[in-house]
């Protein structure tokens, strides 16, 4: 089996610590955790002895030989550390918890919506247009459309979460399937500034029902739920973000209605 040689070894750097990694690297599957662990070790200045496991038979034999259930497995200075997450803990780094609550999806959506709004405003009117009301209109429209897209990419997952707290959907489950399409329509019409007579009542109805539903579930019933605002199976907690999303939609409807006058 071939042993990979790092740049440190080629230079003969004897001060670097020595690490050994066994990782799955088959033609049909390369273990992502193994790759991340390998490059983390190199970034931290280790001399790395890399042992790719090229077949399922090699991988199973390695697991049996060392009594482990998973790969990769890392040794540092002869002592087994474990897998990728164990390595991060050993190095004092944070470990990603897929079940932890997070607002990162929401931050990413609104950041991208803002970037798109500024890009469109710049293309339409240059730097002078960046701080106009049209830029705010684009931002709200893009944010709404992207939120709808997140729901539409996994409709069943969204519906399962939405039925947990939306008052209208609990009485009429089909509304949960209608909601993301209605939200997408609101976003697109907001961006285009078209058919305002249609956008206003749709935004007001779905935003108003959503705001009341979230407020009741979180602040009256004190329930701890995951928000379906960014689609199904998200770890965004139901609360301020979802309430704000719905109130903003109501505000959009009121603003555009006044604009029509």
Per-residue confidence band for 232, with pLDDT thresholds at 50, 70 and 90: low
Q: Comparing C-alpha atoms, which of 144, 235, 158 is closest to residue 187?
A: 144
Residue 4 has pLDDT above 70, yes or no: no
What pLDDT, in 10s, does the model give residues 132-178?
888 988 999 999 999 999 899 889 988 988 898 899 999 999 999 99
Which fold is adopted by the domain 7-90?
Glutaredoxin (3.40.30)
- Tokens 């890392």 locate to 74
Rounded to the nearest 10 degrees, the angle between the axes of helix 133-152 and helix 240-260 is: 130
Helices assigned H by DSSP within 127-195: 133-152, 155-162, 167-171, 174-192
Indicate where the chain has its CATH 3.40.30.10 domain(s): 7-90
The two three-digit tokens of residue 168, written as one number? 């209208």
Beta strands of the chain (E only): which ranges? 18-26, 29-30, 47-53, 73-76, 79-82
Per-residue pLDDT, averaged over 184-204, amounts to: 92
What pLDDT, in 10s, does the model give residues 214-227?
889 888 888 877 77
What pLDDT, in 10s, does the model give residues 6-65?
343 333 344 568 999 999 999 889 999 999 999 999 999 999 999 999 999 999 999 999
Calculate the CA dihedral of residues 21, 26, 28, 32 and round it to 10 degrees.
Answer: 0
**Within its chain, how far is the Cα of 18 from the centroid?**
35
Residue 183 has pLDDT above 60, yes or no: yes
pLDDT of residue 56: 92
The two three-digit tokens of residue 228, written as one number? 């379906």
pLDDT of residue 5: 39
For the chain, give the mean pLDDT. Answer: 85
pLDDT of residue 225: 74
Per-residue confidence band for 73, with pLDDT thresholds at 50, 70 and 90: very high
pLDDT of residue 261: 66
Q: Which residue pairs, CB below 8 angstroms and at least 24 apart, start in 175-180?
A: 179/151, 179/206, 180/148, 180/151, 180/152, 180/155
């Amino acid at each position: 089996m071939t042993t990979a040689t790092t740049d440190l070894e080629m230079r003969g750097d004897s001060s670097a610590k020595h690490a050994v990694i066994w990782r799955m690297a088959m033609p049909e599957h390369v273990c992502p955790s193994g790759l991340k662990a390998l490059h983390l070790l190199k970034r931290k200045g280790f001399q790395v002895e890399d042992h790719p496991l090229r077949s399922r038979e090699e991988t199973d034999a390695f697991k049996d030989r060392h009594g482990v259930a998973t790969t990769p497995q890392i040794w540092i200075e002869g002592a087994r550390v474990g897998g990728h997450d164990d390595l991060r803990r050993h190095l004092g780094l944070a470990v990603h918890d897929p079940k932890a609550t997070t607002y990162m999806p929401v931050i990413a959506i609104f950041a991208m919506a803002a970037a798109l709004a500024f890009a469109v405003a710049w293309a339409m009117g240059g730097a002078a247009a960046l701080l106009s009301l049209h830029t705010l209109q684009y931002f709200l429209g893009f944010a709404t459309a992207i939120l709808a897209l997140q729901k539409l990419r996994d409709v069943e997952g969204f519906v399962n979460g939405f039925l947990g707290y939306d008052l209208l959907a609990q009485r009429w489950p089909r509304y949960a399937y209608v909601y993301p399409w209605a939200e997408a329509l609101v976003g697109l019409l907001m961006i285009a500034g078209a058919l305002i007579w249609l956008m206003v009542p749709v935004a007001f109805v779905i935003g108003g029902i959503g705001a009341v539903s979230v407020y009741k579930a979180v602040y009256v019933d004190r329930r701890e739920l995951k928000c379906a605002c960014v689609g199904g199976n998200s770890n965004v907690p139901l609360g301020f973000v979802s309430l704000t999303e719905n109130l903003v939609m109501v505000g959009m409807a009121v603003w555009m209605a006044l604009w029509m006058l």
